[in-house]
Structure 1
Amino acid sequence: MDVVSDAISTVRLGRPSSQRVRVAGRWCTRLAPYEGAGFHVVLEGSCWLLPDDGPAVSLGAGDAVLLPHGTGHVIADSPVDAAAVRRAVPFERWFDSGQPAPRPGGGEVEVLCGKYRLDRRLAHPLLAELPKVVHLPARVGSHPELRAAIDLLGRELEAQRPGSLTAVPSLLDLLLVYLIRAWLAEGRAGAWPVVLADPVAAAALRALHGDPAATWTNDRLAAEAGVSRPTLARRFTVLVGRPPMAYLTWWRLTVAATLLRDTPMPLAAVARQVGYASPYALSHAFARQFGTSPGRYRAGPGDPPSG
C-alpha cells in the first residue's frame, strides 16, 4: 500500500454522490458545511465559488476544485455580494427544482458536483493539511489522468447506460485520488508533498504502510530506507512531524480503528493484523489514542477524540 491510498481508505465512508447541473442566466446556490469532501468540475462555461471565510474563486471550463474539509460555500454565475450569498437557495432544493430556466443575463454553464463522506476521526495528516479549497485550473497537458477521469465521469452521468451504477462510484473514487495527486504534484505548500518526494522518508513510509504488523525497529527501518539510524530519525522526524516508531504506533491504531468500523473481525484478529501481541495490549494503546475502548468505538455512534 502507499500513503495516499491508505489515507483515503481510512477516512472514506459509504458511496460518493454526484450530480450534473446545467443552468443559464442569473443563479446562486449554497452548499452547507458537511462531514466530508466536496468537488466541482466545470464542464462548460464559467462560474464562481465563494467559500465561507475565504476569497472568491473564478472557475472556467475544465477547472476542478476540491473542498477536502467540507467547507460551506456558494456557487454562482458571478462574484455575488454578501446579501446575495444570504439569499442563496440551498443546493438540494435548487437542484430538485430543476434549476432556473435559461434567461437573458448569462451563458449556459454545466458543472459536475459531488460529495464524499469522510470519517474525520481517522484523518491522515496528509489530508488534514490540504487547504480549504484546492483549485486546479485547466491547463493544456497538465494532469492528463485527472482530465481523463473527468471526461469519463461526465459521459457516464450524461445518460444511463448498462453498468453505470458500478462505474460512477468507481470513477468518483478515482477522481478523488487524482485530485489529491494533482495537489501533491503542484507542491505549492504543505509538508506532505515534500515528505513523499524525499527518498528516505518515502521509503520508510512505504515500508511501514506495506506491513504495519511487522516487528519494526529503528535499525530495521533505517536499513529498509538505506541510511543510518540517526539519519532516518532526523529526516523522518523533521519532515513527518513525529519519530518513526511514534508514527508506526499511530498508524497501527488508525488501521485498527478502520477494521473495527468496517468489519466484524474479532478483536484478537484485529490485534494480530496491526502488530499487537494480544487484545489487551491493543485495547490499552487504543484507549490512550482514541479515549475509548475498541468495543465502544465499534458500537458507536459517538465521536471519540482523535488524541
Structure 2
Amino acid sequence: MDLLSDVVAVTRTGRPRSAHVRWHAPWGQQFTPVPGSAGFQVILEGSCWLLPSDAEPVQLGKGDVVFLPHGNGHTLADSPETPVTTPACGPDGHDLYDAYASDSVDRSGDGGPATVVLCGAYQLNPSRTHPLLLTLPGLIHLPADSHQHPELRSAVALLAAELENPRLGTDAAVPALLDTLLLYILRIWFTQQPAREDSTGWAAALNDPPVTAALHAIHRDPAAPWTVAKLAAEAGLSRAPFARRFAMLIGQPPLGYLTWWRMTTAARLLRTSDAPLRSIAAQAGYTSEFAFAHAFKRTHGTAPGVYRRKN
C-alpha cells in the first residue's frame, strides 16, 4: 500500500458515521468536541456559516468542504447571529451520526431558505494515530471548485445519493465512500501546501520527491531488509544527504521511522488476524520471533501475545 492509504487504514477504527441533513432558516447547530475523531461538513445546497470554537467565522457555500481532523467543536448556522440549539451529540459525540446514519433528515425551522449538509465523523484510535495526521491544522477548508477537484465532487455526489436514497448495498457503499472522501481531502490538502526550501514536517515531506520515494518504499514492503543506504538509493541520493533530509522533514531518522511503522503494522495484524506470531514477525521484517517480541514490547510496552489477547 502507499503511504496515505496506510495512514487511513491504520488510524481509522470502527464504522464511519454520516448524515444527509436539511435545515430551514433560522437554524444553528452545535457539534461538541470529540477527541479521538475527525469530522467533515459538505454544503450540498444553499449556504451557511461555520463558527469554530477557536477561530473566526467562515462563510460556506454550495460545494464547500470542511474537514476537522482533531474533532474540534464547532457550530453551523444560517447566520452568525442565530441562536444555537443544544448539541445534537451525546457525551461520546456520536449520537447525531448514529441517529442519522444512512438517512436523510429534514430539520425544519420557520420555513426559511434551506441548507443541505452532508456531515460525518471518523473514529480514530489515538494510540496509533500516524504522525502525518497530528501535523494537520484544526480546520481544513476546501472551497468549491468542480474543475480543480472533480474526483472529490464525484465522491461527495455518490455519498449524498446513497444517504438520500438508501438502496440495496448502501450499507457497504457508504463506509467505502467515506474512506474515499477522507483520502481525497487529505490528498488535496497536502498537494496544495506551498513548497519552500525551509519547510519541514509531513506536508513538506510529501512534496519532496526523494523523501516520498523512500516513504513509499517502506510502506510498499516494510519487511524488506532496509538500510539507510538502500533507502537512499530509492530516493536517488547518497547516504548522508538522504539521512539528513529525511530526519529534517520527518522528525526522526529513516530507520527510526521504519521500526515505528513495522511495529504499527504488527499491532494491526495482531488485532485483526489470527496469523501466528512467526508469520507476523516475518511481515514486520524479523527472521527471529524472539527479536520481534523484544522489539514489540519495547515499542508497545507489552508482549505480542498479551497485546493480542487485550485487543
Gap regions ≥5 residues in structure 1: 302-307
- 1:204 maps to a residue whose letter is A
- 2:285 maps to a residue whose letter is G
Q: Pairwise mapping of residues 81-120 of structure 1 onto structure 2 (< 5 A)? A: 84=83, 88-91=86-89, 92=95, 100-103=107-110, 106-120=112-126
- After TM superposition, the structure 1 stretch with the greater mean CA deviation from structure 2, 1-10 or 154-163, is 154-163
Matched, 1:217 2:224: no
- After TM superposition, the structure 1 stretch with the greater mean CA deviation from structure 2, 235-244 or 275-284, is 275-284
Matched, 1:145 2:151: yes
Structure 1: distance between partners of 2:129 and 2:96: 31
Kindly state the Cα deviation for residue 140 of structure 1 after the two structures are TM-superposed: 4.6
Pick the aligned partner of 1:238 from 226, 248, 251: 248
Kindly state the Cα deviation for residue 10 of structure 1 after the two structures are TM-superposed: 0.5
SS at match of 1:14: coil
Q: Is the 8 A contact 1:42 1:62 kept in 2?
A: yes
Q: Deviations over 1:7-26 (max 9, x none)?
A: 11101112212110001022
Change (3 A) 1:62 1:190: farther
Q: Deviations over 1:216-255 (max 9, x none)?
A: 1111222222221112111111111111111111110111
Q: Deviations over 1:61-96 (max 9, x none)?
A: 100011111122222222248xx45x5332447996
SS at match of 2:120: strand
- 2:22 maps to a residue whose letter is R
Q: Deviations over 1:15-56 (max 9, x none)?
A: 212110001022222222222211110001111222333333
Q: Is the 8 A contact 2:21 2:107 kept in 1?
A: no
With structure 2 as the length reference, what TM-score do the two structures score?
A: 0.88
- 2:74 maps to a residue whose letter is H
Structure 2: distance between partners of 1:190 and 1:238: 6
Q: Pairwise mapping of residues 124-203 of structure 1 onto structure 2 (< 5 A)? A: 124-187=130-193, 191-203=201-213
Structure 1: distance between partners of 2:205 and 2:273: 31
Change (3 A) 1:89 1:199: closer
Change (3 A) 1:95 1:12: closer
- 2:134 maps to a residue whose letter is A
Q: How many percent of aligned residue pairs carry the same amino acid?
A: 49
Structure 1: distance between partners of 2:49 and 2:301: 42
Structure 2: distance between partners of 1:295 and 1:33: 35
Q: Deviations over 1:165-206 (max 9, x none)?
A: 222221111101001111112215972232122121011111
- Give the corresponding residue for 1:31: 31
- Give the corresponding residue for 1:54: 55
With structure 1 as the length reference, what TM-score do the two structures score?
A: 0.89
RMSD of equivalent CA atoms = 2.3
- Give the corresponding residue for 2:77: 76
Structure 1: distance between partners of 2:177 and 2:156: 8
Structure 1: distance between partners of 2:97 and 2:242: 54
Q: Is the 8 A contact 2:191 2:207 kept in 1?
A: no
- Give the corresponding residue for 1:304: none
SS at match of 1:242: coil
Matched, 1:11 2:18: no
Change (3 A) 1:24 1:213: same
Q: Is the 8 A contact 1:41 1:112 kept in 2?
A: yes
Structure 1: distance between partners of 2:67 and 2:200: 16
Gap regions ≥5 residues in structure 2: 90-94
- 2:26 maps to a residue whose letter is R
SS at match of 1:296: helix
Change (3 A) 1:194 1:156: same
Change (3 A) 1:297 1:30: farther
